Homo-oligomer: A and B are copies of this chain.
Amino acid sequence: MSQVDELLRNKVSYLADRASDEDIAISTRIRLARNLNGLPFPSAAAPEQFRAAAEAVAEAVERKKLLGGGAFRFDLETLLPLDAEVLFERRLASRELLRRETGAAVHVSGDESLAVMVNEEDHLRIQTLKPGFQLEAAWETIDELDNRLSAELDFAYDETLGYLTACPTNVGTGMRVSVMLHLPGLVLAGQLNQVVQGIAKLGLAVRGIFGEGTDNRGNLYQISNQSTLGESEPEIIARLKRVIEQVITHEKNARSNLLEHDRCKLLDLVGRSYGTLRHSYILSSEEALKTLSGARLGVDMNMFSSLDIHTVNELFVAINPAHLQKLAGRTLQGAERDIFRAQTVRELLRRTGSN
């Protein structure tokens, strides 16, 4: 059994926690970019320098058990490609990390709420993931981990600029805060573009589910800070918080409006989404995201007695190609995957007793 298999068997996941505003905010993520003094940035590093960075980080994380008792260490060089994809789909490793040929690694806490990527664009990318909308709690968690790592490692830091990073857009705090929001109400009401434009004017970014451009599969959007310089971490977080609170309010209003003026249309969308998830035998990734979004909206609006939000959250991860193939225990081509995806979703929904 690979370490990734162990991770997947792990029943303790940050996603299972209850959280505030979880009906609209799926998760909160903060990551910090850090580099080690005395070593070139990964983009300019030689193989032995990658290894030196990886060893220094592993030494610090493991000796001091900075990620807790049941932490995992994944060395990308020896990881099967499918296992690496699983880490990507679970948001524990980035595409950039997966592309690195030498010395890339990621340390992950047992509940996956903490991760330290090594030799991505920077020597370290420290991340915390929390369910729902929990900016302050996420900041406390990541700040503490950063402090403990600082005590072990010599981070590149400039009194004027702040933390030094490979890409100038990260210099300063090195912090990227992002909140994943589920915004079907604004999409249905045709108000999303307006909201996105407003957010952009405030210097924040809006991206799709895996951060790629404007891809909005599943009506999932990540809102994050663009600048890392000229503001303290608490200031960045406070600004993001105000904006996201407004977006959440807009989404709630859009949902109430739909419920009041277009109740049947809304119920129909939710019902059909559920019907497709529960009864189809061929399900593409795109349709799965679309219908999961519809089902999640139904759960949020208390339209289901037997389907809970965590089952839906679990499915948002389980429908991804690498997860499906791990579950199947073998490689699945596109058409097979759509069949197995439908089966997986059907069975999970049947097990939860929902009809």
Contact = CB atoms under 8 A, between A and B. Distances in A.
Interface of A: 264-265, 267-268, 271-272, 274-276, 278-282, 339, 342, 355
Contact of A342 (B268, B274, B280): B268
Contacts of A268: 280-282, 342
A277 to B, nearest CB: 8
Contacts of A279: 271-272, 274-275, 278
Query: How many copies of the shown chain assemble into the complex?
Result: 2
Contacts of A342: 268
A265 B278 contact: no
Contacts of A282: 264-265, 268
A292 to B, nearest CB: 14
Contacts of A274: 275, 279
5 contacts: A264-B339, A267-B281, A268-B282, A271-B279, A275-B278
- A264, A265, A267 pick with most chain B CB within 10 angstroms: A264
Contacts of A280: 268, 271-272, 275
Nearest to A349: B355
Contacts of A275: 272, 274-276, 278-280
Contacts of A272: 275-276, 279-280
Contacts of A267: 281
A278 B272 CA distance: 9
Contacts of A271: 279-281
A57 to B, nearest CB: 47
A299 to B, nearest CB: 14
A268 B339 CA distance: 9
A342 B271 CA distance: 11
A18 to B, nearest CB: 27
A67 B70 CA distance: 81
A72 to B, nearest CB: 36
A36 B282 CA distance: 60
